[in-house]
Structure 1
Amino acid sequence: MTLTHETALELAKLAGLVLTEPDLDTALVAVTRVATAAVEPCDGASLTMRNRGVPSAPAASDAWAIELDRLQFVEQEGPCLDCLREGSVMRVRDLTTDGRFPNYGPQAAARGALSALSLPLVADGGTVGALNLYSRAPDAFDSDVVAVGELLAAHASLAISAATAYYSSRELADQMRQALESRAVIEQAKGVLIAQLGGSADDAFDRLVELSQRSNRKLREVAQTVVEVAMKGPQGA
């Protein structure tokens, strides 16, 4: 296998996806576009992942590639499903004649896909997905291309695992920050109500809950309004 400079640069891009993409969905799409650029015979790429045990296509380089994935889900056969089930590389030299996929193959060929390569994505010792490469030419993925694809899939597995962990932790951090902000504004609103109406902190909280229920608004929004009105003074009340 000869790794070209251009392919090496594309592989290097995978390492930086976590830092350059705004969210997980965009990062997954970026993986498929890097794959398309890194493997010369590839005309389109997609990812097949398990969603609660059911195969799904969360990302693709273009609409053509995702259509080829979804067709496999409908027919319940195809290289990406076999790759996902068996955890091994699936190479289809000619979709018009491959006897393993009598329903999917001709339909994929009718859509312009003549050969395919599906590579397992591995995390924690198990197959969690498949990277699927499609070509409009027959027998496009020779042994050298498969070797590059396997290297690409290994890099993609690491990038996807890192991105999933990163965006999950960032989402959790955002949720914690929002919870702390909500708590702070609720405490401020309780102080305002105690100053205005007297009573205890529990009484003030019950008053906020009552206002929230009556107005069908979130507790935090009601508390924010109470604080804002108090800050404006009598003229804003």
Structure 2
Amino acid sequence: MHGRRSRRKGRLLVGELSPYLHELAVQAATHFGQHTQTSITFTYQGAVVRAASSDEPAARCDQVEARTGTGPCVQAMDQLHAVLVPRIPDDGDAWAQWRDQALAEGFVSAVAMPAHVRPGVAVTLNLYSGEPDPWDAQALLDADAHVQAVAVALRARLTEPVPTLDREVRRALDARALLDHAVGVLMHANASTPQEVSEVLSRMSIEGDLSLEQAAVLVLRSLEPSADVDALPTPNRPSD
């Protein structure tokens, strides 16, 4: 598959915005061998965001799921149960856009392994291969271990306080700038249009009982670990 040599050197993909999740995706792909590409996607109250991928083909597949809201990883996160696709069908109505993209990338099998992060938030580690059903029972256990590690990292990022900006910089970073930055991040992550991204943020806001600014902060805290934004204030968020 494409991207193998550059991936092993740990280089970020074009437009990749989350180095720490990218590294976890690369580690997982390395563990499973050259027949596997990986991608990490999370959902917040039904809003789907592709966070990181080991290779461009896997990224494009997860971006389709994020934009359409359908696919094995979305189902896995909804049900918190692994979805195994030992042979991707070449026809049928189920996940049609994801299926077409996966087949176009040369994949013939996939696995979506989910993990709970906190109420309303889940994450999946998605495995893609150009070989039919290459993962045995031990590989699936390993995939679960990897996604649990991703969930721990994401949970810490979403709940632990981070340093605040200098007062002058913080005053300059008004709500509009914060939203614009989050829109740019999501456009890169999901390969989405501004309108599609606005719908994602609105869904996060409505379903999560957040302001748009709080939804934007959640996105930035998830995808940009170096972003100096205040701890997400969510007084109505259910306790973990």
Q: What range describes the TM-score normalised by the shorter chain of this pair? A: 0.5 to 0.7
Aligned to 1:174: 164
Identity of aligned residues (%): 23
How far apart are residue 128 of structure 1 and its match? 1.3
Query: Which structure is higher in RCO with an 8 Å CA cutoff and minimum separation 6?
Result: 2
How far apart are residue 136 of structure 1 and its match? 1.3
Q: Is 1:155 aligned to residue 149 of structure 2?
A: yes
Distance of aligned partners of 1:42 and 1:83 in 2 relative to their CA distance in 1, 3 Å threshold: farther
How far apart are residue 142 of structure 1 and its match? 2.2
Higher helix share: 1
How far apart are residue 72 of structure 1 and its match? 2.6
Q: Are the counterparts in 2 of residues 41 and 140 from structure 1 also a CA contact under 8 Å?
A: no
Choose which of 14, 24, 32 in structure 2 pairs with 1:31. 24
Q: Is 1:116 aligned to residue 104 of structure 2?
A: no
Aligned to 2:42: 49
User: Following the alignment from structure 1 to structure 2, what is the Cα–Cα distance between the partners of residues 136 and 151?
Assistant: 23
User: Following the alignment from structure 1 to structure 2, what is the Cα–Cα distance between the partners of residues 111 and 160?
Assistant: 28
Aligned to 1:145: 139
RMSD after superposition: 2.9
Aligned length: 154
TM norm structure 1: 0.56
1:88-118 Cα shifts (integer Å, max 9, x gaps): 1011101135867362324411211111111
Distance of aligned partners of 1:85 and 1:39 in 2 relative to their CA distance in 1, 3 Å threshold: same
User: Following the alignment from structure 1 to structure 2, what is the Cα–Cα distance between the partners of residues 110 and 92?
Assistant: 16
**Counterpart amino acid of residue 150 in structure 1:** D
**Counterpart amino acid of residue 124 in structure 2:** A
Distance of aligned partners of 1:111 and 1:140 in 2 relative to their CA distance in 1, 3 Å threshold: same
What are structure 2's unaligned runs of at least 5 residues? Answer: 1-16, 172-240
TM norm structure 2: 0.55
User: Following the alignment from structure 1 to structure 2, what is the Cα–Cα distance between the partners of residues 182 and 59?
Assistant: 28
User: Following the alignment from structure 1 to structure 2, what is the Cα–Cα distance between the partners of residues 107 and 181?
Assistant: 42
Distance of aligned partners of 1:150 and 1:174 in 2 relative to their CA distance in 1, 3 Å threshold: same
